[in-house]
Amino acid sequence: MKTKIILIAGLAAMLFTSQNLQAQFNYGLHAGANLETQAELGELWNNCEVYQGYMLGGFLEYKTGKILSLHTELNYQKKGEKVKTSLEGVQTINRREFNYLSVPLLVKGTFHDEGINENMDLTFFAGPYAGYLTSANSRLEAGNKTSPVAIEGQAEKADFGAIFGGGVIYKLSNGGAIITEIRYEMGLSKIDKLNQYLRNKGFGLTVGYRF
C-alpha cells in the first residue's frame, strides 16, 4: 500500500507540475507487459523460462528541438525470473519476483516519414535508469505443493541499467496522442547478494496516452 501511495503521489506531482510548464513539455500515462529474466552481465538473455511482469507509470518529456527531446518516467515495475528444474524426479518451478520503483532518463528522437500516415511519427530512445526495490518474494512449486521462500533479505535495494527502444506516436485531433513502444531493459548492477552475477533483463511492450 505504501508503494502505491508513493507512486500515485509522484504521478500527481508530475501531472500538476506539467500543467504550469511551457508548450515544449509533454506528459502522459503508460502501462505495459514485460517478459523478464535474470542473467549474467554481458548476456542479453538466458535459457530460463520467461517471467511475465508488468509496468505502469507516467512520463514527462521536454522537447529540446524539432527532433530531440529529454524524457523521464516514474514507473512501478514487476521483474523476476522463472526457473524449471527436476528434483528427485519431481519437476519444480521457482518464481522469483522483484518489484521496483524506477526512474529512466532517456534521450528520444522523433521522426516523421512522409511515406506513412501524416498523423504518425516514429520514435527511438536510449538512456540509463535507476530503480529502488520495494519488495521481493519467491514461490517454489513442487508437484502439488507451493511454498513461499523469503528472499527480500538477499535482494539488493538498488538496480540500475540501460534502456533501448522505439515506437510509434499516433497524433489525435484533440491534441493528444496514443504511443506504442517496444523496449529492452539491460540491468548492469547486481540484484542478488548471494549471486553477484545476476542482472535484470527484460523486453517490454507499452501503450500510453500523451495529453
Q: Give pLDDT tens digits for 168-182.
A: 999 999 989 999 999
Helix H or strand E segment including 18: helix 2-18
The amino acid that residue 156 corresponds to is E
Low-confidence spans in the chain with pLDDT less than 50? 18-22
**Residue 20: per-residue pLDDT:** 47
**What distance in Å separates the CA atoms of residue 72 and residue 107, rounded to the nearest whole number?**
9
**Residue 149: per-residue pLDDT:** 81
Q: Say whether 19 sits in a helix, a strand or coil.
A: coil
Q: Minimal CA–CA distance to 183: which of 32, 57, 27?
A: 32
**Residue 46: per-residue pLDDT:** 63
Gyration radius of the chain over CA positions: 19
**Residue 11: per-residue pLDDT:** 56
Report yes or no: 52 and 79 within 8 Å, Cβ to Cβ. no
Domains located in the chain, CATH noted: 2-210 (2.40.160.20)
**What distance in Å separates the CA atoms of residue 88 and residue 77, rounded to the nearest whole number?**
35
Report yes or no: 156 and 149 within 8 Å, Cβ to Cβ. no
